Amino acid sequence: MRFSDVGYIIKMKKHGENSLILTVLSRDHGKVTGYVKNALSKKKNAIFQLGNKVQIDAYARVEENMLSFKVELDTPYAVNFITDNNRLIVLSSFCTLSDECLPEMDNLEKLYKRVENFFNFIDEDNWITHYSYFEFYLLEYLGIGLDLSECSATGTTHDLAYVSPKSGKAVCAKAGEPYKDRLFKYPHYILQESYNPPLEDVRDVLKMTAFFLNKNFFATHSLKFPVCRANLAQII
């Protein structure tokens, strides 16, 4: 097996004296993990940082073997995170969710575009908004996307205002009013492809995505919800 791809470093584990087991979230092959020989040197230190975009040449003699990587730096995104604690917390959440939720060698399709946007706009004021898009579409990729097309109580497609934590379905304003304290806010800006919503709306979406990721993925697979993701609320 042999292929080339480009993607973002999401996990590194030291192997032996100076080598790494590297996990990259790639454009065409999804999450891929491979062995990098002689990675831990001063000359290569700038390459192997979480969040950096790298080009990989991957190869294995037989499919059952772990891939070996040759790695070159594409874009040093890590520098955009290490000088800002809030961005660093979100990067940690992104890397952990990507590593724990996504299968190996599975094309991410349109989810990868959301990943690219998160990194491409990390210096913009609305960078956290792009991260919220990643989590929302991660739910869809995992097959636990929300049904936001019509009100689950009345069937109307108008005046949708809430999302039920029980069913993951939309609820209109009138039907949801008596229970609004127990419902999530409807993610209007996501569906409208708006990238400059009020910060409160972003906070509501991330509260909702955290709930459904925990309930429908981590709890279902008897996994502990990542602490780094649970702590993300403190920065918003």
pLDDT tens digits for range 16-62: 889 999 999 999 999 999 999 988 888 888 999 999 999 999 998 87
pLDDT tens digits, one per residue of 112-153: 999 999 999 999 999 999 999 999 999 999 999 899 999 999
Q: How confident is the model at residue 105 (pLDDT cuts 50, 70, 90)?
A: very high
Type of residue at 70 = K
Q: 3-state SS string over 172-187?
A: EHHHHHHHHHHCEECC
Q: How confident is the model at residue 63 (pLDDT cuts 50, 70, 90)?
A: low
* pLDDT at 232 > cutoff 90: no
Q: What does the block give as tokens for 76? A: 């040093």
C-alpha 82/C-alpha 17 separation (Å) is 25
pLDDT score, position 183? 98
CATH number belonging to domain 2-79? 2.40.50.140
Class of domain 84-235: mainly alpha
pLDDT score, position 108? 95
Q: What does the block give as tokens for 116? A: 């690219």
DSSP string, 5-40: EEEEEEEEEEETTTEEEEEEEETTTEEEEEEETT--
C-alpha 202/C-alpha 208 separation (Å) is 10
Question: Average pLDDT in the 68-81 region?
Answer: 96
Task: For the chain, give the mean pLDDT.
Answer: 95
- CB 74, CB 12: distance < 8 Å: no
For the chain, give every domain's residue range. 2-79, 84-235
In this structure, what are the phi and psi dihedrals at residue 166, rounded to the nearest 5 degrees? Answer: -80, -45
* pLDDT at 208 > cutoff 70: yes
Count helices and strands in the chain by DSSP H and E runs: 8, 9
